[in-house]
Structure 1
Amino acid sequence: MNIRDFPRRPDEPVPGGLLISQLLWVLAGVLFLGFGAFLVYEQTQRGSLDLAAMSLVALLLAAGVAFGVLAYRLFLGQRSARAQLTWVGLIAALPMVLRMGRYSILAAIVLFSVALMWVPASNRYFKVVSPKPRKRGPVPPR
């Protein structure tokens, strides 16, 4: 395996808002993992591991891993990572804003990161680094 085969970050300079968003996604992934681990610790100290708490732990851990992997892909400049982070972030953050008081700081970080990925400077960056494939027209008959 050659070092040139590994994906690398594009040479195009990253806009400041997108760089902050990339760092916040990594932070959100670490915080999701930390809150999941803390919830496990909290439940084991009480001596009760109920299904609802374990479901929330599984959701937090899965979201933390997903945010970490997708943040790496965003760091590489992949347009699809931006779309996936947007959807996963909105699906994970909106219920937390509405119902879970303790986790609202996580939701605020995620929603702010989503907003930073879609500012005009970030849109121009992705048009240069990861352009959309051209649509092909219908194939003419022979």
Structure 2
Amino acid sequence: MFRRYLQTLEKKRNKINVIRATINHINLEGDDHKSIRPELLYVSGRMFKQKLNIDQLAKWFSPYGNVDVKAYGQNKALVATSNHYCAKDILRAFKQHNTIYVTYYSVWKHSPIARGLLWTGVLLSGSACVVALLTGDKET
């Protein structure tokens, strides 16, 4: 009987379970497998500068599966779900919600640092083009 348990556990040998991370486990014998965890969900208030109650969000989302809600500023939150079905169910259920907006998290859309870097690049390259056009060779 004990051998059956050992055979069942053989595929988990030398792997460390990692909870609440982007990967499921760390493989001590080789390369880590690609993550199969769902993307983060981004939650914001529908009203401008509306503060979100993290406990209320957790209560709303918990019937759909295990969720971990983290504040991302005063009026934004990030939600990690346990599986893809949970994420899809939350997106579907809160699509037309009257107080919150839920979507998949995108670094370029939702991260203030990434947006700042993007706009800085746009402004610098635009300025360089304008300077190049204005100071270009004016011989005709």
* TM-score exceeds 0.5: no
Q: Which TM-score applies when normalising by structure 1?
A: 0.23
More helix by share: 1
More strand by share: 2
Name the larger-Rg structure: 2
